[in-house]
């Protein structure tokens, strides 16, 4: 069936979350659909691109730090030559419950059809939250942005920029009216790759007091998280993206219950 509107749209607007429909099983087939078949959904598919990859994610903490370990096999990735500097980029987005839409859509809440490289993309618009821009794309005024930021209405993100045989480059920042990269990341990244190509990437960050633009990770709160991977030197929309998942410290209802090691 040819249609350019996602059929989950109406029920999403009525209150059904992405993962409530898509569950843990759709990331594979939807990825395949985008990469291989449905040209009206992806007008410039990368030839030979695997439609999905699986991330094995493990979490733990000690008295001071949160550890998130992401392991994956990128498979056979064609070189898209979009990002000349890095072969692979692994990202994680974190909301502490302040961003209403993040609970419902994870990473996808920051993705819009007018973001750079999307169907109505404007080159300078990166990821942003709906509350930060008017429907046409212009940001709300500086005062409003400052108060949203002060209320914690932003997504924090961490990224590991990777090349085989090279030391991983850590990046962190936040997303409100745009994606803002911190000058000096506080997240630490450790990455290794096996001969067979499997990456193991561990993000480490202080649980609390990591500084402005960083959420405190405390017991009793539910965090909304999402993961993405750019592989094969891709950039912008050409990444693997998870649906939303939840994370709690020590105890609670979530896909990731972070226990003490």
Residues lying near ligand HEC in the complex (CB under 6 A):
6-8, 11-12, 16, 18, 20-22, 30, 33-34, 41, 105, 108
d(CA 57, CA 257): 12
- State the minimum distance, in angstroms, from the CB of residue 110 to ligand HEC: 11
Q: How far apart are CA 110 and CA 245, in angstroms?
A: 15
State the nearest-atom distance from the C-beta of 54 to ligand HEC, in Å.
17
Q: Which is nearer to ligand HEC, 56 or 130 (CB)?
A: 130
Taking CB atoms, the residue at the shortest distance from ligand HEC is 8
Question: What does each C-alpha distance from 212 to 79, 172, 185, 247 come to in angstroms?
Answer: 36, 11, 11, 21
Q: Which is nearer to ligand HEC, 52 or 67 (CB)?
A: 52
Other beta carbons within 10 angstroms of residue 93's beta carbon come to: 27
CB of 32 to ligand HEC, least distance (A): 10
CB of 34 to ligand HEC, least distance (A): 6
Quote the CA–CA distance of 214 and 203 in Å, as a whole number: 14
Q: Which is nearer to ligand HEC, 20 or 186 (CB)?
A: 20
Of 15 and 220, CB closest to ligand HEC? 15
**Rounded alpha-carbon distances, angstroms, from residue 70 to 90, 118, 225, 246, 251:** 9, 27, 13, 15, 21
Question: In the complex with ligand HEC, which residue's Cβ is closer, 40 or 124?
Answer: 40
CB of 129 to ligand HEC, least distance (A): 14
The token pair at 260 is: 């003490």
């Amino acid at each position: 069936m040819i249609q350019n509107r996602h059929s989950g749209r109406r029920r999403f607007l009525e209150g059904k979350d992405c993962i409530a429909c898509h569950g843990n099983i759709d990331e594979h087939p939807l990825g395949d659909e985008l990469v291989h078949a449905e040209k009206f959904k992806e007008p410039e598919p990368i030839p030979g691109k695997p439609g999905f990859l699986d991330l094995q994610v493990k979490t733990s903490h000690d008295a001071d730090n949160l550890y998130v370990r992401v392991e994956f096999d990128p498979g056979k990735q064609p070189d898209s030559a979009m990002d000349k500097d890095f072969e692979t980029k692994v990202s994680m987005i974190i909301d502490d419950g302040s961003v209403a839409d993040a609970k419902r859509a994870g990473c996808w809440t920051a993705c819009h059809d007018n973001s750079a490289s999307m169907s109505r993309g404007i080159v300078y618009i990166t990821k942003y939250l709906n509350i930060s821009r008017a429907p046409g794309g212009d940001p709300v005024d500086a005062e409003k942005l400052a108060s949203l930021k002060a209320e914690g209405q932003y997504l924090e993100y961490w990224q590991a920029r990777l090349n085989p045989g090279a030391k991983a480059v850590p990046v962190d920042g936040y997303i409100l009216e745009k994606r803002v990269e911190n000058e000096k990341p506080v997240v630490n990244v450790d990455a290794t790759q096996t001969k067979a190509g499997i990456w193991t990437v561990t993000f480490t960050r202080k649980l609390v007091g990591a500084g402005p633009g960083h959420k405190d990770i405390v017991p009793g709160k539910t965090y909304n998280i999402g993961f993405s991977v750019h592989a094969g030197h891709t950039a912008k929309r050409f990444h693997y993206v998870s649906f939303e998942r939840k994370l709690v410290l020590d105890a609670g209802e979530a896909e990731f219950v972070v226990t003490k090691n």
